[in-house]
Amino acid sequence: GDSVTQMEGPVTLSEEAFLTINCTYTATGYPSLFWYVQYPGEGLQLLLKATKADDKGSNKGFEATYRKETTSFHLEKGSVQVSDSAVYFCALTDSNYQLIWGAGTKLIIKP
Amino acid sequence: DGGITQSPKYLFRKEGQNVTLSCEQNLNHDAMYWYRQDPGQGLRLIYYSQIVNDFQKGDIAEGYSVSREKKESFPLTVTSAQKNPTAFYLCASSISRGSNEQFFGPGTRLTVL
């Protein structure tokens, strides 16, 4: 079945560092891809999405590009802030419109 | 403000007891979902509903039950048949089942004593 694999955390960075969180997927067909963020003690919020190959999703300085050839959707940010500390989930929608989730990557930003 | 509310935020249950988690949305969304989140794991789908008076089992429905009597409400009951119920439970909704975006509530943390 479809699946999503994320890099294991926690990822610890200093403020203003460059961020990459890797996400790869296996899927039949052409899924939509998502990054959700979960701040401590809260529910999830959609961060960005891409619905077809080569699309770039972006929001709040975060970006991710749908790469069909490498089945990847890596999350990047040029300069992280302490407020970016959260858990980040990569996900895809399968052919039944069900969201398939990665395990999540905890990001810790130190001042 | 439109959104999804879940209550209570924290819930404690003795073994053998059923408990019901509340989920209400005022987004006028047709589809609603219940997920379970365990440490170090992604979300797992328990049940979903595409429309009032209809719901479908997700990947881990055993030991859980739901109802959808009103469009805005989708309560989840964790029964005594659920062997390991301690987890964080998240409710979500979307405009429709095929919608690309799900909106999440703040979650309920259930602990079995």
Can you give the pLDDT at residue B1? Answer: 63
Report pLDDT digits (tens) over B29-63: 999 999 999 987 889 999 999 999 999 999 999 99
Query: How far apart, in whole angstroms, are the C-alpha atoms of residue B23 and residue B52?
Result: 14
d(Cα B107, Cα B36) in Å, to the nearest integer? Answer: 10
Average pLDDT for chain B = 92
More confidently predicted of B79 and A95: B79
Cβ distance of A4 and B107 shorter than 8 Å: no
- Cα distance between residue B89 and residue B36, in whole Å: 5
Of B42, B97, B101, the CB nearest to A89: B42
B99 has a pLDDT exceeding 90 = no
Q: Are B31 and B48 in contact (CB under 8 A)?
A: yes
* Region of residue B61 (phi > 0: left; psi between -120 and 50: alpha; otherwise: beta): alpha
Q: Is the pLDDT of residue B98 over 80?
A: no
Nearest to B47 by CA among B17, B82, B92, B105: B92
Give CA angle at A59 (A56, A63), nearest 5°. Answer: 40
- Mean pLDDT for chain A? 94
pLDDT over 90 (residue A43): no
Q: Is B27 on the interface with A (CB under 8 A)?
A: no
Instruction: Report yes or no: B60 at the A interface, CB cutoff 8 Å.
Output: no
What percent of chain B has a predicted confidence (pLDDT) above 90? Answer: 77
* Residue A18's pLDDT band (cuts 50, 70, 90): very high
Query: Quick check: bond before A10 cis, omega within 30?
Result: yes
Tokens 């980040």 belong to A88
